[in-house]
Amino acid sequence: MAKTLEPKTKEMEFTSIGQRVPKLDAWDKVQGKTMYIHDVKLPRMLHGKILWSKYAHARIVSIDTSKAEQLPGVRAVITGYNTPEIRCGFIKDNPVLKKDKVRQYRDEVAAVAADTPEIAEEAIKLIDVVYEELPGVFDPEEAMQEGAPLIHEDKGSNVLKLPWKMICGDVEEGRKQADYIVEETYKLPFVTHCCLGTSGCIAQFDAKGNLTVYSPTQIRYLAQKDFQEALNALGLKGKKVKVIQTAIGGGFGSKLDTYPFEFITILLAYYTGRPVKLVYSREEEFFASPGRQPVRAKISQGCTKEGKLTFRDVEMILDNGAYTSWGATTPSVMMMPISSLYQVPNIRYVAKCVHTNNIYSTAMRGYGNPQATFAIESQLDTLAEKAGIDPWEFRMINRNKPGEITPQKFEVGSCGMKECLEAVKEKLQWDEKRGKGNGRGVGIASLIHVGGGARIYKSDGCGTILKLDDFGKVSLLTSASDMGQGSETVLAQIVAEELGLHVEDVDVIMKDTNLEIWDAGAHASRSTFVAGNSALYAARKAKEEILEFAATMLKEPKENLYLRDRMLYSRNNPEVSMTIDKLLRAAHFRTNGRQIVVSEFYDPPTQMLDREMKGNFSAAYTYGVHGVEVEVDKETGQIKILKMVIAMDVGRAINPMAVEGQLEGGGAMGLGYSLMEELHLEKGKVLNGNFLDYKIMTFPDMPPIESVIVETYDEKGPFGAKGIGEPPLVGSAPAIANAVWDALGVRIRELPITPEKIVAALEGKKGS
Amino acid sequence: MAVKISFKLNGEDVSINVDDHVTLMDMLREEFDLFGAKEGCGYGECGSCTVLVDDKAVNSCLMLAVAVNGRSVLTIEGLAGPRGELDPLQKSFVEKGAVQCGFCTPGMIMSAKALLLEKPCPTEEEIRKGMAGNLCRCTGYAKIVEAIKAASERGCSCGKDS
Amino acid sequence: MRRFTYYEPESLKEAIALLEKNGETARLLAGGTDLIVEIKQEKKSPDHLVSLRRIPGLQEMDFSDGELCIGAMVTHRMIEKAELIRDKYSLLADAVDNLGSVQVRNVATIGGNICNAAPSADTAAPLVALGARLVVEGPAGERQIPIDEFFKGPGKTDLGAGEILRCIRIPALPQGAGSCYIKHARRKAMDLPLLGIAVIIVPDANMVCREARIALSLAGPKPFRAEQAEAFVTGKPLSEEVWKQAGEIAVGESNPRSSFRTTAAYRRKMIGTLIPRAAAVSLQRVNRAWMKG
Ligand SMILES: Cc1cc2nc3c(=O)[nH]c(=O)nc-3n(C[C@H](O)[C@H](O)[C@H](O)COP(=O)(O)OP(=O)(O)OC[C@H]3O[C@@H](n4cnc5c(N)ncnc54)[C@H](O)[C@@H]3O)c2cc1C
Ligand code: FES
Ligand code: FES
């Protein structure tokens, strides 16, 4: 269901925008022709394999690789002792091959390259490592205690020197103004991306020492920069790195950083002089590909008798694991809902990331937002109940509005929170269904997310090159990445629309750092907005050139000319009509003629957060509301999701089918996070690294999801669009927790909401 | 030890020497360059390696290559018609938006193929149950169900509203 | 995967000989959905795999003189589709209905399920409730093992060296029996049970319990009959209350464990909760026509 915008004039009636255009790459995918990293073979390619630590915290006494080296077919065996040191992660605390000590169960201790994966695997087993086990620490709160084992001795403390703090207004004053206050603690588990395609890469050096890395990365250009550092470490300063992106078998944030395995592959390729491929097994993917950061949150919020929120106070402890990747920066995004979800005048947020001997974490769809929103939105229901206000009304009272400036200085443009709340209320039949307490219940939760990029690097830009050929076809070279979400198609739609062409006329090329311009990566739900604007502005430049040439050639005023359906027309002169390909040939094949090639680098008008963590981080903000109806079996604690409604303000749905795909897929991931996903660790070791024990939703588990697309038209977005990749996951868990509360009167403050927890809570309720 | 096996692969008779311990999936990928069957887990838990053996869906990651001796194997590469015309399932997967990252897609389509061979017009419940061995992390399955329904409508003659 | 030699013997004799010859280094291969996984995970490391797939007779199901005989190589999918089993042995149909996926059920066998002796094996509790007898052939000829003597603990069975399960004999159920198996799991599909509950009820015309069988898996180290609970119900009217009490008695007979999958406390509570539910479904399935006639 989409509320569509009225076209203004005839030629404003869209031909591509708003259409359910099938994904351009789907044709290859349904035939099994798409090449993922697993499928790429290069001549003389070797296979790499990593030896993982068998202790969560231990000294490495010795490593004996001699037996492995003697195995026929082994081409290189490397350790931290026979290679130059390379460190990865944004604070460079993660040596890619560990020396002296290991800090997590899955630390990289050695690696081999061999003729076949089997030989590599056998060789790994022949490496003898002597460890001396050290006491470990696996709980962040224990790790903060005086005398806890230090994970990184050189850091002097397990608490990361990355204190997250944001103050807006005066929380103490807010507490005084509040008639009702609720204070609680929430807990969120380790979960992981579960991309169906596991991680992997291929590294290859040319004769001159230049490096090519084939990788399903979400950050071609940042990876290129990181890999450059590896070359420097190898004494290859000045040599070039090229990253070629293979098809991505799922991303969701997992491929937003560079990891030791990639550098190890580069080292193996360097020492063997041959291309080396290293691909994770599923088991490795579970323990070695970092997931979402676990969080403990103490939160209090207060409101007046009338239900106006007066303050929000949040303290968090994040289990940072042994090393630092993007997981440690998720508080920068948690701040967004904490400061700006609903109108709250007084806010305090502090967060600590604490090293433990657990596995470390990275970015994952939502980037901290799901954890923070779970706490905020669950608690809002309790607060509303205390104030005697219907939770939906409560949200309406405090809702965000278009044009507001939030305490964190976000400049909200379009905001469809009201429309989303209203749609969910209607679809859920909120008034009829709520408050029955008979084992059935309804719950809602709202969310805010960045929808117009997010300035976490100095540039949040994205580049586009457009080449128009003699046949009326366009090559669109974009630095964006498509992990399946459909950016390729959306960008083609934008360019086709602007140039009056059909989507089939646009070839999208997104794969090679040497071909395309630069991009900050596929994160922050930014591709449609940032890459979309980049493509749109490039197409405008090309259109200008075409129209200018046509105006001269046809002696028609340029303002009158327009492109549509592969044709050039004039508004005032019905005589003017010419196919675009003919026009392009006319522009090319003449004296001083040329093919039209334009480029554009779009960097959204946003600010980096200042020292106080404030500033207009994103050029647009996406809002949404999740609604669910549940039926809970009071005896077994099993939850049946009867219905899930996801209403999202996407600005404009450039491709409604793709938007629904994000809503349904994000909804499924959100349901998994809410109900069944959890990586179980025992002393740092993952116990359930397989798809039977780490449970994601299956076909029969999925309830019907009703997608409601709200279109508010954001002035800054391409054709009014805002980003939508992450939000559909964000509000699922609190909506379910709230529905469980409505159904049973028990509050589950820890994910996943399992039958065991429900049964225990019901027993607790009976007992009290 | 290598043994010689003969079987029908996508309609063609083939013979090959294969080691005893090699899985069907590895043989298809390494020996025949058929990359459609994907290893999502290697343990029978995700379905991305699904192919049909004697018209039945199996996880090629758990089946030994030697065990297909004398049988017939159909992979995603053999699904399209002789002149490359796509199977109705392939078309409807594209048209209904059932594909995102696409890693699960070949396995999904092969499972759906087996389902429709057995039950040309399944109900939604039958689809969900029949497809339960195929995981997808991207789509939330709704559009895959839609695509299978759409494809089944072409092959279905019972008039039942599926 | 580790290297091994693969054999496809064409008779049981030949297979037994291969097992005898290679001793500990040989393993039987049925559908491979347990064994291949275990080899890949390096939990088992056989040098010789003896496939049963070409041995005639093992894939047959035979129903005669009221006794059902299921060949060891009968797949879960064949059982799932067998009308006769759905009608007469509903609990077995329940057990295979949601076992693994279609892909798994297409190749995985009932023999493999039993011989692997995983505590989570879905057919175990139903077969225990049915009082199945396992027909085993070995170097010393044939013998029959009552199923409750077959399981010796997680992964352990009574099978001796060179012995092969040939078929599973299921004695006739009394007329008018109703049965049900509840697989209690987190997901609706592709999941191993946290608890398996099999119930068979035989009521008389006045709805008094003539015979009751309750078998549980994952409620202790191996599947077992909750005999005290069975004794308690027998002779009593089949009311919800009686079954609730029976459930509680069965809890007392159980000794489940805690793991990351779930807690012992939750398993215990579910034993008490689900036995009455399995009984209720069984009762619905009782052939009422017979009772009247
Ligand atoms: C993804 C997945 C999901 C699963 N889900 C379930 C589930 O929900 N419920 C469940 O119960 N199981 C489940 N399983 C486990 C497995 O599928 C079953 O246990 C299956 O029945 C095993 O049968 P098989 O024919 O594949 O056995 P195999 O793996 O071939 O053999 C298993 C063991 O039994 C021995 N063996 C086999 N046949 C004989 C014989 N005739 N005589 C003597 N020994 C023999 C073998 O030597 C081996 O040790 C699942 C497995 C997978 C991979
Ligand atoms: S790879 Fe075979 S089922 Fe996952
Ligand atoms: S489309 Fe990505 S896993 Fe299904």
Pocket probe mutation, ligand 3, options B93, B100, B143, B148, max atoms within 8 Å of Cβ: B100
Cα–Cα dist A364/A80, whole Å: 29
At residue A79, the 3 state secondary structure works out as strand
pLDDT digits (tens, 9 = 90+) for A291-334: 999 999 999 999 999 999 999 999 999 999 999 999 999 999 99
User: Is the pLDDT assigned to residue C96 strictly greater than 80?
Assistant: yes
What is the CATH code of the structural domain delimited by A26-34+461-602? 3.30.365.10
* DSSP states along A577-599: EEEHHHHHHHHHSSTT---EEEE
pTM score, two decimals? 0.97
B150 touches chain A (CB under 8 A): no
Q: Which of C184, C266, C274 sits opposite A759 (nearest CB)?
A: C266
* DSSP states along C78-144: HHHH-HHHHHH-HHHHHHHHTSS-HHHHHH-BHHHHHHHT-TT-TTHHHHHHTT-EEEEEETTEEEE
Cα–Cα dist A662/A656, whole Å: 10
**Contact between A668 and B48 using a beta-carbon 8 Å cutoff:** no
- For chain C, which chains pass the contact test of at least 3 CB pairs under 8 Å? A, B
* Mean pLDDT, range C246-262, rounded to an integer: 97
Straight-line distance from the first to the last Cα atom of chain B, in angstroms, rounded to the nearest whole number: 49
Could you name the CATH architecture of A295-455+609-767?
Answer: 2-Layer Sandwich (3.30)
User: A672: exposed, middle or buried (C-beta count within 10 Å: 0-12, 13-18, 19+)?
Assistant: buried
Percent with pLDDT over 90 in chain C: 93
User: Is the pLDDT assigned to residue A608 strictly greater than 70?
Assistant: yes
* Mean pLDDT, range C195-201, rounded to an integer: 98
User: Is the pLDDT assigned to residue A242 strictly greater than 80?
Assistant: yes
Asked if residues A13 and A493 have their Cβ atoms less than 8 Å apart, the reply is: no
Q: What is the DSSP letter of A555?
A: T
Q: Locate the chain C residue with the closest alpha carbon to B53.
A: C106
Cα–Cα dist A454/A525, whole Å: 9
User: Is the pLDDT assigned to residue C293 strictly greater than 70?
Assistant: no
| Structure tokens given for C8 | 């496809």
Please provide residue A657's backbone torsions phi and psi, each rounded to the nearest 5 degrees. -65, -40
Q: What ranges do the domains of chain B cover?
A: 2-78, 88-153
| pLDDT confidence bin for C175, thresholds 50/70/90 | confident
- Give the ipTM of the model, two decimals please: 0.97
Ligand 2 centroid distance, CA of B47 (Å): 5
Q: Is the CB of residue B24 below 6 angstroms from any atom belonging to ligand 2?
A: no
Q: Is the CB of residue B111 below 6 angstroms from any atom belonging to ligand 2?
A: no
Ligand 2 centroid distance, CA of B37 (Å): 9
Q: What is the per-residue pLDDT for A535?
A: 98
* Mean pLDDT, range C217-235, rounded to an integer: 97
Asked if residues A93 and A152 have their Cβ atoms less than 8 Å apart, the reply is: yes
Pocket probe mutation, ligand 1, options C59, C115, C128, max atoms within 8 Å of Cβ: C115
User: Is the pLDDT assigned to residue B156 strictly greater than 70?
Assistant: no
Q: What ranges do the domains of chain C cover?
A: 5-51, 61-171, 178-292
Amino acid making up residue B127: I
Residue nearest (by alpha carbon) to ligand 2 atom 3: B44
Q: What is the per-residue pLDDT for A584?
A: 97
| pLDDT confidence bin for C1, thresholds 50/70/90 | confident
Nearest ligand to the C-alpha of residue C121? 1
Residue of A458, A718, A482, A501 lying closest to A600 (CA atoms)? A718
Between vectors from CA A314 to CA A311 and to CA A318, what angle results, nearest 5°?
165
Asked if residues A400 and A419 have their Cβ atoms less than 8 Å apart, the reply is: no
| Structure tokens given for A97 | 């091959």
Asked if residues A452 and A722 have their Cβ atoms less than 8 Å apart, the reply is: yes
pLDDT digits (tens, 9 = 90+) for B9-19: 999 999 999 99
Pocket probe mutation, ligand 3, options B45, B103, B108, B131, max atoms within 8 Å of Cβ: B103
Residue nearest (by alpha carbon) to ligand 1 atom 8: C99
Q: Is the CB of residue C12 below 6 angstroms from any atom belonging to ligand 1?
A: no
Cα–Cα dist A279/A343, whole Å: 47
Straight-line distance from the first to the last Cα atom of chain C, in angstroms, rounded to the nearest whole number: 60
CA R_g for chain A? 27
Nearest ligand to the C-alpha of residue C102? 1
| Structure tokens given for B58 | 């199996």
Q: Which of A687, A701, A754 sits opposite C188 (nearest CB)?
A: A701
Average pLDDT, chain A: 96
Q: What is the DSSP letter of A528?
A: I
| pLDDT confidence bin for C81, thresholds 50/70/90 | very high
| pLDDT confidence bin for B158, thresholds 50/70/90 | low
C42 touches chain B (CB under 8 A): no
Residue of A209, A491, A196, A448 lying closest to A341 (CA atoms)? A448
Q: What is the per-residue pLDDT for A294?
A: 97
Fold of B88-153: DNA polymerase; domain 1 (1.10.150)
Cα–Cα dist C183/A554, whole Å: 77
- Give the count of alpha carbons within 13 A of B135, CB side only: 30
pLDDT digits (tens, 9 = 90+) for A70-123: 999 999 999 999 999 999 999 999 999 999 999 999 999 999 999 999 999 999
pLDDT digits (tens, 9 = 90+) for A340-364: 999 999 999 999 999 999 999 999 9
CA dihedral A549, A555, A557, A562 (to 10 degrees): -50
* Mean pLDDT, range A568-596, rounded to an integer: 95
pLDDT digits (tens, 9 = 90+) for A487-515: 999 999 999 999 999 999 999 999 999 99
Q: Is the CB of residue C35 below 6 angstroms from any atom belonging to ligand 1?
A: yes
Domain with CATH 3.30.365.10 in chain A: 26-34+461-602, 295-455+609-767
* Run of H or E including A657: helix A656-675
Measured between beta carbons, which residues in chain B are less than 8 angstroms from residue C40?
42-43
Q: Is the CB of residue B58 below 6 angstroms from any atom belonging to ligand 2?
A: no
Q: What is the per-residue pLDDT for B161?
A: 45
Asked if residue A752 has a cis previous peptide bond (ω within 30° of 0), the answer is yes
Nearest ligand to the C-alpha of residue B139? 3
Cα–Cα dist C126/C250, whole Å: 16
User: Is the pLDDT assigned to residue A1 strictly greater than 50?
Assistant: no
What is the CATH code of the structural domain delimited by C178-292? 3.30.390.50
User: Is the pLDDT assigned to residue C217 strictly greater than 90?
Assistant: yes
Measured between beta carbons, which residues in chain C are less than 8 angstroms from residue A754?
186
Measured between beta carbons, which residues in chain B are less than 8 angstroms from residue C103?
44, 47, 50, 57-59, 111, 133
pLDDT digits (tens, 9 = 90+) for C138-156: 999 999 999 999 999 999 9
User: Is the pLDDT assigned to residue A38 strictly greater than 50?
Assistant: yes
| Structure tokens given for A275 | 């291309």
Ligand 1 centroid distance, CA of C49 (Å): 15
Report the nearest atom of ligand 1 relative to the CA of C76.
Answer: 21
Could you name the CATH architecture of C5-51?
Answer: 2-Layer Sandwich (3.30)
Q: For residue C233, what are the CA distances in angstroms to C126, C177, C237, C245, C278? A: 19, 15, 8, 9, 14
Q: What is the per-residue pLDDT for B147?
A: 98
**Which residue carries 């209690």 as its tokens?**
C184
Residue of C269, C248, C127 lying closest to C195 (CA atoms)? C269
The domain C61-171 having CATH identifier 1.20.1260.10: the answer here is no
Report the nearest atom of ligand 1 relative to the CA of B45.
Answer: 1
* Mean pLDDT, range B87-111, rounded to an integer: 98
Helix, strand, coil share of chain B (percent; to 5): 35, 20, 45
* DSSP states along A180-211: EEEEEEEEE--B----SSPPEEEEEE-TTS-E
The domain B2-78 having CATH identifier 3.40.47.10: the answer here is no
Query: Measured between CA atoms, how close is B48 to chain A, in angstroms?
Result: 8
| Structure tokens given for A672 | 């998994």
Q: What is the per-residue pLDDT for C288?
A: 58
Residue of A656, A637, A673, A672 lying closest to A765 (CA atoms)? A637
CATH class, range A37-134+199-279: alpha beta
**Contact between C103 and B63 using a beta-carbon 8 Å cutoff:** no
Percent with pLDDT over 70 in chain A: 98
pLDDT digits (tens, 9 = 90+) for A653-704: 999 999 999 999 999 999 999 999 999 999 999 999 999 999 999 999 999 9
| pLDDT confidence bin for A437, thresholds 50/70/90 | confident
pLDDT digits (tens, 9 = 90+) for A520-538: 999 888 999 999 999 999 9
* Run of H or E including A431: helix A430-433
Q: What is the per-residue pLDDT for B154?
A: 77
Cα–Cα dist A657/B117, whole Å: 28
Domain with CATH 3.90.1170.50 in chain A: 37-134+199-279
The order of strands in the sheet holding A276-279 is: A74-79, A108-114, A46-52, A276-279, A200-205, A211-215, A241-245
| pLDDT confidence bin for A257, thresholds 50/70/90 | very high
